Structure 1
Amino acid sequence: MTLKEIAKEAGVSVSTVSRVINQENTKAASPKVQARIWEIIRRTGYSPNKTARNLKLGQSAEHRDPDPKSIACVYARTHTDMSDPFFSQIVKALELEAIKSRYFIRYSFTSQDLGRPETAAQLTQFPADGIVVLGRYDQRIASLVSNLSKNVVYTGLIPMDFQFDQVVCDGSEIVYTAISYLKSLGHTVIGYIGEQDKEPRFSGYKEALSKLNLPFAQRNTANVHQTSEGGYEGMKMLARTCDDLSAILCANDRTAIGVLHALKKLNFRVPEDISVISIDDIDIAQYMSPMLTTVHIPTDELGKMAFKVLLDRVSGGHRMPLKTFLPYYIAKRDSCCPLNRDRRLFSTLRQQASH
């Protein structure tokens, strides 16, 4: 990859790419353009030859510009890919913040990538100055990451026990807030669609029902991947087995997209027949039909704060692990309403199907 090829893909001049890479002028391009250039560099593995540049300019060693520092992002959840809109927004905000301090994202890895020999070789040859772990991780990921860098920040919805810096929203409290809101609307039989195995949102759902004296039944839950496809299949499963739910908690907005689609296919009205609440508040949530009621997670602030904590760690500003909690709120839109006693019931749907 050459500067010319990077410039062509980014839609800017070669001189603009050069200035961004060499940090000669922070106003050479907007933050979004700079982020686009660094994303191309990360994806292609381009490595600026700073030594040659300094020799060309006749700069002595003590006056040479320091190289931009690099970050590796690890998408730790097994079923989360890099296109996940929740984590994509966090990374976008992180990258824009990083540019201000001459950092760029050199690598993006999934949890599967991290254990591969070629990944370790790549990080050994071109080590990152810090690692940001996105989403819940396990002991294997913690060990691998610890061996790669001493500068690690985790961000997500699940406070972890491992000794990394953390920037989080508390997933259990988020779920409790969502269930409490549904109860305030008169809903008492509330389902859950999302992952269940070692999933704090599911355990938080059960705990919230218990604390609020609401009934729990496994038949009112669907254990599916937290994707739109998973949500669609999960809703169809519940329609065949569940009690007469009046509300559903979706583990995230991607799941809710599939749930709303399935309910439409089943001729259930949202929210008149059933209320749907979710977690994340990705951009598309406010444009769905109906507009999705969801717990707003401050993804931009998670990304910005994760980088600031990482920067402080790299520069020696702190040694003990930090745990930072960010606030959240319910974005109340159109997919929830007070309990409707005249709503359509799943039991009626099954009776009609049996005749």
Structure 2
Amino acid sequence: MTIKEIASLAGVSASTVSRVINHPGSKAAGKEVENKIWQIIRETGYIPNSSARNLKLHNFSAESSNIPKTIGCILARTHTSDPFFSRITRGIEREALRSGYIVKYIYSYQDIQNPDIQQMIRQTKVKGVAILGRPDSKTRSFLKENYSRIIYTGLNNIESEFDQITCNAYLASKTAVSYLAELGHVHIAYLGERRNEIRYRGYWDAVSQLALPLNRELIIDTPLCIEGGYNATIKLLTSKNKVTALFCANDLTAIGAMKAAREFGLKVPDELSVIGIDDIETSQYTTPMLTTIHIPMEELGIMTAKILIDRIETGKRISMKVELPFQLIKRESCSAPPSENSYK
């Protein structure tokens, strides 16, 4: 399989395929076309010409092999179209390809509940697997039974012997709440999951440490999706509790929250500030543009693949934890709270 053949199957030019593979963030193709290209790569087992790539990367000592080496990805909490984990997955795929590996399959939590998929996993051996998001005890047991090399990546640390590549969502959440407080907000709501959720802990501790009012009615336990954010915001605003800012546990929740605020007749950010976490691509195209905490999703994927492949190649077993930095991205959805006279 060559780049030209992949291009033919995808219905694009060879240069487009090359840019999608080798230049993350180049936006050489739309999301649908990019996903199609990576699907073809997985299905055909395409591996770049090792000699040419090693020459280009000045890696003269690497050995080439005609036998594709494979790893797998399992999304332990969500579906494969989730934009946060999709970006991480893409980072894993790119780095794996650079190292002469292919991602053989990508399954969601829902997929691996299917007995047929479970049987396929048992029969289709891969060198190792990357787990995206926190696995529950049942999933963890299944993973240990079927994989000898496992690495985890996500926003929550987990109690496990697995290697872990994370970004500190606890501190990211505290940063988001602190930023709202710096703008003058006192009545800050939390929209997101609560159970075993480090972002909720970060919110709670930040509010406590900043000596802000702890109003439990401003804490809405909701799924991390657009619909969850929308429904939670409607519930919050119809409760008549005073709130001037929403801290949403991810960007999808924040996007749903802004939609609900508009329908409720509130202007963002003049009457209600909204901040999220993740910095998915869509956050730049909302109206107003979403202020958020940037999580280095692609870099999480790249580092996950690097360490997993190193484990496969060297046989090292001592587990490690790597934490990547986050960054506050100030856009348009946050401002100082409205005055008492203008508050609705």
TM-score (structure 1 length as normaliser):
0.81
SS in 2 for 1:107: strand
> What does 1:98-177 align with in structure 2 at a 5 Å threshold?
98-177=96-175
- In the TM superposition, residue 90 of structure 1 has moved relative to its aligned partner by 1.0
Contact 1:154–1:167 at 8 Å: present in 2 too? yes
SS in 1 for 2:314: coil
**Which residue of the partner structure matches residue 303 of structure 1?**
301
2: CA distance between counterparts of 1:175 and 1:119? 36
Highest Rg: 1 or 2? 1
Contact 2:188–2:243 at 8 Å: present in 1 too? yes
SS in 1 for 2:110: helix
Distance 1:31 1:317, change over 3 A: farther
**Which residue of the partner structure matches residue 320 of structure 1?**
318
- The match for 2:18 among 22, 26, 30 is 30
Kindly provide the CA deviation profile for residues 183-210 of structure 1, in whole angstroms up to 9, marking residues without a partner as x: 1111111001112222222232112211
SS in 2 for 1:315: helix
Distance 1:326 1:4, change over 3 A: closer
- The match for 2:281 among 280, 283, 292 is 283
2: CA distance between counterparts of 1:74 and 1:343? 51
**Which residue of the partner structure matches residue 85 of structure 2?**
87
Q: Does residue 335 of the first structure (1) align with residue 333 of the second (2)?
A: yes
- In the TM superposition, residue 99 of structure 1 has moved relative to its aligned partner by 0.7
RMSD: 2.6
- Greater shift, 190-199 or 172-181, is seen at 190-199
SS in 1 for 2:20: helix
- In the TM superposition, residue 228 of structure 1 has moved relative to its aligned partner by 0.7
Contact 2:45–2:102 at 8 Å: present in 1 too? no
- In the TM superposition, residue 175 of structure 1 has moved relative to its aligned partner by 0.7
- In the TM superposition, residue 233 of structure 1 has moved relative to its aligned partner by 0.8
**Which residue of the partner structure matches residue 54 of structure 2?**
none
**Which residue of the partner structure matches residue 69 of structure 2?**
69
1: CA distance between counterparts of 2:160 and 2:228? 30
**Which residue of the partner structure matches residue 238 of structure 1?**
236
TM-score (structure 2 length as normaliser):
0.84
Distance 1:241 1:104, change over 3 A: same
- In the TM superposition, residue 133 of structure 1 has moved relative to its aligned partner by 0.6
Distance 1:116 1:213, change over 3 A: same
- In the TM superposition, residue 223 of structure 1 has moved relative to its aligned partner by 1.7
Aligned-partner residue type, residue 76 of structure 1? A
Q: Does residue 267 of the first structure (1) align with residue 265 of the second (2)?
A: yes
**Which residue of the partner structure matches residue 203 of structure 1?**
201
Distance 1:343 1:228, change over 3 A: farther
1: CA distance between counterparts of 2:45 and 2:20? 21
SS in 2 for 1:146: helix
- In the TM superposition, residue 38 of structure 1 has moved relative to its aligned partner by 4.8
Contact 1:115–1:144 at 8 Å: present in 2 too? no
- In the TM superposition, residue 65 of structure 1 has moved relative to its aligned partner by 3.5
Aligned length: 314
Q: Does residue 183 of the first structure (1) align with residue 171 of the second (2)?
A: no
Kindly provide the CA deviation profile for residues 232-254 of structure 1, in whole angstroms up to 9, marking residues without a partner as x: 11110001115211111011001
Contact 1:152–1:310 at 8 Å: present in 2 too? yes
Aligned-partner residue type, residue 73 of structure 1? C
Kindly provide the CA deviation profile for residues 129-160 of structure 1, in whole angstroms up to 9, marking residues without a partner as x: 11111112222222111111121111111111
> What does 1:4-19 align with in structure 2 at a 5 Å threshold?
8-11=8-11
Aligned-partner residue type, residue 291 of structure 2? T
2: CA distance between counterparts of 1:192 and 1:29? 42
2: CA distance between counterparts of 1:137 and 1:247? 32
Aligned-partner residue type, residue 235 of structure 1? T
SS in 1 for 2:283: helix
- In the TM superposition, residue 37 of structure 1 has moved relative to its aligned partner by 4.7
**Which residue of the partner structure matches residue 52 of structure 1?**
none
Distance 1:120 1:47, change over 3 A: farther
- In the TM superposition, residue 125 of structure 1 has moved relative to its aligned partner by 2.1
- In the TM superposition, residue 121 of structure 1 has moved relative to its aligned partner by 2.1
Kindly provide the CA deviation profile for residues 261-315 of structure 1, in whole angstroms up to 9, marking residues without a partner as x: 1111111111111111110000111121111100000111101111111111111
Which ranges of structure 1 fall in alignment gaps of 5 or more residues?
17-26, 49-62, 349-355
Distance 1:268 1:160, change over 3 A: same
- In the TM superposition, residue 84 of structure 1 has moved relative to its aligned partner by 0.9
1: CA distance between counterparts of 2:330 and 2:293? 8
Distance 1:29 1:172, change over 3 A: closer
